[in-house]
Chains A and B, each alone.
Chain A
Amino acid sequence: MSSEPLLRVENLKTQFFTDAGTVRAVDGISFEVHEGEIVGLVGESGAGKSVASMSLLRLVESPGEIVGGEITYRGETLFGLEEGPDGELRERDDMLSNEEMRTRIRGNEIAVIFQDPMETLNPVFTVGGQLREFIELNRDLSGKEARKEAIEMLREVGIPDPEERYEEYPHQFSGGMRQRVLIAMALACEPNLIIADEPTTALDVTVEGQIIDLVDELQEKYDTSFVWVTHDMGVVAEICDRVNVMYLGEIIEQAPVDELFHDTKHPYTEALLNSMPRPDRTVGELEPIEGVMPEAISPPSGCRFHPRCPDAREVCQRVHPENKEVARADGYPHNAACVKHDVFDVGYDESVPLDKEPQMTASTPSAGDDGE
């Protein structure tokens, strides 16, 4: 573990300015990724995971905008604001320009593996051509060398007959094979950090297993760091070194993976774990989390999880808990944002438990699940 992390995200805020109001999709998250680490970003749909990961590359699409915080990658400022002489916030001078982001960071330093292999590849170009284009752009190779490299990469990710498949179009590939192509794209650019945005969500379980094994293997070989975005605690357990749990735009718990699973500090994380099928429990013992996540446009007061939290007390409606260190494990802090761990300051113990209000349920149509 080196002292300076590869990527540091400090109080990142990304908002969407819609007609209905401002959606605080990412609301002040901080995390670090060290060399060679796989860091999980976990949460339900709409928690802001994808927006957070796209913010790292400054690729949030309008009407979304990064409005605050700082992103540092290997000492370079990917995003940073400062107060100008007129008191307005402005971009810092050392922040990389859009052109620098495009030529120096995207692809060759930080690459992305997208969620949907069926839609992500361009249908009218050959798989090999697309792969070669990205290699040429990010690695200063000539067309011929890039082609060779592309075929090599296709072989590396386990695509049989890569020479022939190079000339084929995406529709001639299965979902799992397309996901392998997307992984090949990310690795072929030789980045130091790969953002994997739910790369296995669209795949069936057996293919998911293969892809995860493949990534594990390649990660060891190339020593690439990963930010692994997922909603699946099973995948987290299998692959991640450290985990950040997101809820409604905030990180509510962060810890090394074993610590998170064995000494869970936040009720939401616990609820997530309890809702996950495990070999030691029958289906009847699964406990789904009550209700659905509220929309980020009008988050609940106090702790954002309190309307669904089994441990919620009156104080949770008023006090917004800070994400702070509650334990240490393996030299890393174990942070949680819950007033349970703040007993002296806010008086959680004296506070009365909340009556369960009428809840939104999963069938409530108004609560969209597309807020991500």
Chain B
Amino acid sequence: MGLLRYTTYRFIQAIPVLIGISILTFILANLTPGDPVRLMTQGQEVTPEQIERIEAQYGLDRPLHERYLDYMAGLVQGDMGHSFHRNRPVTDLIASRIGPTLLLVLSAYAFALVTSIPLGIIAAKRRNDPFDHVSRIVALFGVSTPSFWIGIMLILIFAVQLGWLPSAGLVYPWWSPETYGHSGYFEHLIETMRYLLLPMIALGTLQMATLMRVERTQMIESLQGEYVKLARAYGVPERTILRKHAFQVAQLPIITIVGLNLSTALGGAVLIEFVFNINGLGRLFYEAIIQLDYQLIMGITMIIATMFVIGVIITDIAYAYIDPRVTYGESE
């Protein structure tokens, strides 16, 4: 089976998963205690008739399964419904908020990969050296410290004490430099980085620590492999062994973890958006839950679930690409 067929096949497989998620979320959201109409009309004088009218307007008076089927009918046409709190289409709301979140999550991953893999390799190569011990302590700190606390500490040190970096908000690189009064694209890019740096590190530290630990273990194991002995016995230079022979075998679990940790990263983004006052999907999600904005909750859940599923599919494709033993589903 070719790559294209495999990808198509995996996406088709993902459809029942997404339907399952939609049913669960729909039920759970509607089971949440509280009444959205009452929340909306809080502090106002409303008659029971008015409440009934609002409920009818948003279809809240109809049975759950009807509302679900209605929602799904809209979804397949690209209509994610209407936020009754914000009185705007859910798609618009998500579109305006997804950018910062994606920027944050992807940059955190880039930061984690760029740092963890070299550090893990060096730690494996210098096993039980001081470097290895220090990096293991750092990794332990990284996996056991909540990202929001790291974020607060980073703000305290680099924004409050040292005043080097801004503590809140983001500069969106996709907006024109003039919006921010930047004199050109170079300054625009620098500012983007300045704003992004702290939240990126705060969110990426957990990923970095996890990946570094795995990379170290995998490289140690790989360096003890028989194929490394073989390469040594045939005079392959140590650097080539490290970079090629041992490295490529060791990367297989890394890919899996990158894919699976996408959920942790998306979850972590919610908290980081709060700490750094970033108007992303995470904050929108939080507000939607507080306000029992059913349509918005559904919409964001579906988007996050889809992103996760796509991430896993990309992982699988990358896995098959790197490991020749994994095929695109063909039988030998």
Do A114 and B230 touch across chains, with their CB atoms under 8 A apart?
A: yes
Do B233 and A59 touch across chains, with their CB atoms under 8 A apart?
A: yes
CB closest residue in chain A, given B227: A122
Stretch at the interface among A132-140, A269-277, A317-325, A358-366: A132-140
Contact of B249 among A103, A114, A123 (CB under 8 A): A123
State the CA gap A122–B227 with chains docked (Å). 5
State the CA gap A116–B229 with chains docked (Å). 12
State the CA gap A134–B231 with chains docked (Å). 8
Do B249 and A57 touch across chains, with their CB atoms under 8 A apart?
A: no
| B243 interface hit (Cβ, 8 Å) | no
Query: Given A120-B226, A123-B249: A185 and B234 within 8 A (CB)?
Result: yes
Stretch at the interface among B88-96, B195-203, B320-328: B320-328
Do A171 and B325 touch across chains, with their CB atoms under 8 A apart?
A: yes
| A112 interface hit (Cβ, 8 Å) | yes
Do A102 and B235 touch across chains, with their CB atoms under 8 A apart?
A: yes
Interface string of B224-265 (1 = CB under 8 A from A): 011101111111110000000100110000000000000000
State the CA gap A124–B228 with chains docked (Å). 13
The minimal Cβ–Cβ distance linking A250 to chain B, given in whole angstroms, is: 25
On chain A, the residues within 8 Å of B229 by CB distance are 59, 114, 120
Interface string of A168-183 (1 = CB under 8 A from B): 0101000000000010
Do A169 and B324 touch across chains, with their CB atoms under 8 A apart?
A: yes
Contact of B323 among A112, A116, A123 (CB under 8 A): A123
Do B325 and A169 touch across chains, with their CB atoms under 8 A apart?
A: yes
| A316 interface hit (Cβ, 8 Å) | no
Do B324 and A114 touch across chains, with their CB atoms under 8 A apart?
A: no
The minimal Cβ–Cβ distance linking B132 to chain A, given in whole angstroms, is: 14
Interface string of A235-270 (1 = CB under 8 A from B): 000000000000000000000000000000000000
| A225 interface hit (Cβ, 8 Å) | no
Contact of A124 among B226, B232, B233, B248 (CB under 8 A): B248
Contact of A189 among B226, B231, B234, B324 (CB under 8 A): B234
Contact of B325 among A107, A123, A133 (CB under 8 A): A123
State the CA gap A138–B232 with chains docked (Å). 12
CB closest residue in chain B, given A124: B248
Do A103 and B235 touch across chains, with their CB atoms under 8 A apart?
A: yes
State the CA gap A124–B227 with chains docked (Å). 11
| A339 interface hit (Cβ, 8 Å) | no
Do A138 and B234 touch across chains, with their CB atoms under 8 A apart?
A: yes
Question: 14 interchain pairs (CB within 8 A)?
Answer: A102-B237, A106-B232, A106-B235, A112-B233, A114-B230, A114-B233, A119-B225, A122-B248, A124-B324, A137-B236, A169-B325, A171-B324, A185-B230, A185-B234
State the CA gap A365–B234 with chains docked (Å). 37
| A121 interface hit (Cβ, 8 Å) | yes
On chain A, the residues within 8 Å of B325 by CB distance are 123, 169, 171
| A14 interface hit (Cβ, 8 Å) | no
Do B233 and A122 touch across chains, with their CB atoms under 8 A apart?
A: no
Do B230 and A121 touch across chains, with their CB atoms under 8 A apart?
A: yes
On chain A, the residues within 8 Å of B235 by CB distance are 102-103, 105-108, 137-138
9 other A-B residue contacts (CB within 8 Å) besides A122-B245, A123-B323, A189-B234: A107-B235, A111-B234, A114-B226, A121-B227, A122-B227, A123-B227, A123-B249, A171-B324, A185-B230
Do B323 and A133 touch across chains, with their CB atoms under 8 A apart?
A: no
Do B323 and A124 touch across chains, with their CB atoms under 8 A apart?
A: yes
A interface residues, how many (CB within 8 angstroms) = 29
On chain B, the residues within 8 Å of A102 by CB distance are 235, 237
The 9 closest A-B pairs by CB, nearest first: A107-B234, A122-B227, A106-B235, A169-B324, A119-B226, A107-B235, A112-B233, A120-B226, A134-B234
Query: Given A123-B324, A123-B325, A124-B248: A107 and B233 within 8 A (CB)?
Result: yes
The minimal Cβ–Cβ distance linking B124 to chain A, given in whole angstroms, is: 14
On chain B, the residues within 8 Å of A185 by CB distance are 230, 234
Q: Which of B225, B235, B245, B249 is the most central at the interface, judged by chain A CB atoms within 10 Å of its CB? A: B235
Contact of A119 among B227, B233, B245, B322 (CB under 8 A): B227
State the CA gap A126–B248 with chains docked (Å). 13
CB closest residue in chain B, given A104: B235
Interface string of A328-349 (1 = CB under 8 A from B): 0000000000000000000000
Do A59 and B234 touch across chains, with their CB atoms under 8 A apart?
A: no
Query: Given A114-B226, A119-B226: A106 and B324 within 8 A (CB)?
Result: no
Interface string of A125-155 (1 = CB under 8 A from B): 1100000011001100000000000000000
Query: Given A123-B324, A171-B324: A133 and B236 within 8 A (CB)?
Result: yes
Contact of A120 among B230, B236, B248, B249 (CB under 8 A): B230
Interface string of A78-110 (1 = CB under 8 A from B): 000000000000000000000000110111100
State the CA gap A185–B325 with chains docked (Å). 22
The minimal Cβ–Cβ distance linking B9 to chain A, given in whole angstroms, is: 23
On chain B, the residues within 8 Å of A116 by CB distance are 226
Do A120 and B234 touch across chains, with their CB atoms under 8 A apart?
A: no
On chain A, the residues within 8 Å of B233 by CB distance are 57, 59, 106-107, 111-112, 114
State the CA gap A153–B263 with chains docked (Å). 50
Do B322 and A124 touch across chains, with their CB atoms under 8 A apart?
A: yes
Query: Given A59-B229, A114-B230, A171-B324: A122 and B236 within 8 A (CB)?
Result: no
On chain B, the residues within 8 Å of A103 by CB distance are 235
State the CA gap A91–B66 with chains docked (Å). 85
CB closest residue in chain B, given A168: B324
State the CA gap A121–B322 with chains docked (Å). 16
The minimal Cβ–Cβ distance linking B60 to chain A, given in whole angstroms, is: 56
CB closest residue in chain A, given B324: A169
Do B248 and A106 touch across chains, with their CB atoms under 8 A apart?
A: no
